[in-house]
Amino acid sequence: MGVVNVTPDSFSDGGRWFDPAQAIAHAHGLVAAGASIVDVGGESTRPGAQRPDEAEELRRVVPVVAALAADGLTVSVDTMRASVARAAVEAGAAIINDVSAGLADTEMLPLVAQCQLPYVAMHWRGHSTDMYGPAQYRDVVTEVLDELQQRVVDLLGAGVPPENIILDPGLGFAKTAEHNWAIMRDLERFVATGQRVLLGSSRKTFLGRVGRTPERRRPPAERDTATAVTSLYGAMAGCWAVRVHDVTSTMDAFDVWEAMGSPTEVADE
């Protein structure tokens, strides 16, 4: 899943793809690099980000979704608003990716049930204006799993088929670096729920603090190698998809993994 941010204040690209034409071209580039899905979002969820109003989010997202869907791409819409999800689906989006798992908008779950499309429910404890205040856990993996399972119960109760529910542990959302690494180490527990799992480690802050000089915090653009490693780990753990900003580096990691699984073919080459 390749990320297409149509926002002026994204943490990862700082608004590089805010112009619709540039966003559309970028999405095609992600697919050419190997992405199966492009995830279009018009609201930044970086720590401290202020929400755009509904009209602005619609203005940012719908034309890009419509153009990409018309070009035959599989499009996911990244939104917490049911109204934006509905408009994007009408424009051709095939997946709804909601970082709040329906908690930010009470109309989202009924819409998902009505649309009968795959729905990504991410673990979430509140908006980005207070990203780390709710990062309080005794056992982060168990508590995140329990809270996601409650979202599954609510989705099923709303009429969403289980096969349409995809879980995302929400790395970086109401979680410290230590929480994120604990979840990474136990990804198999999320996969063991039987629901498909989406992993979104790409360029997150905790990846900027690894390395031999931990006092130097790497900027987002320098986190793609770490993203590729964590994404490969997610794939090995059984995740359904990984959500990344730079598709090429992650595909390189996948290609190396595949080659190592076929030593005879590699030797013949």
Residues 111 and 55: their CA atoms lie apart, in Å, by 19
Both tokens assigned to 236: 């090995």
Q: Is 86 a catalytic residue?
A: no
Q: Which residue has the tokens 């198999």?
A: 188
Q: Choose, from 196, 203, 204, 223, the residue flagged as catalytic.
A: 204
* Terminal-to-terminal C-alpha distance of the chain: 30
Q: Which amino acid is at 75?
A: V
Q: Is 243 a catalytic residue?
A: yes
What is the three-class DSSP state of 4?
strand
Structural contact between residues 203 and 160, judged by C-beta atoms closer than 8 angstroms: no
Structural contact between residues 99 and 46, judged by C-beta atoms closer than 8 angstroms: no
Q: What residues pair up with 39 in beta bridges, in sequence order?
A: 3, 76
Q: Choose, from 81, 175, 223, 243, the residue flagged as catalytic.
A: 243
Minimal CA–CA distance to 195: which of 122, 143, 102?
122
Cα dihedral sign, 36-247-79-28: negative
| Residues known to be catalytic | 204, 243
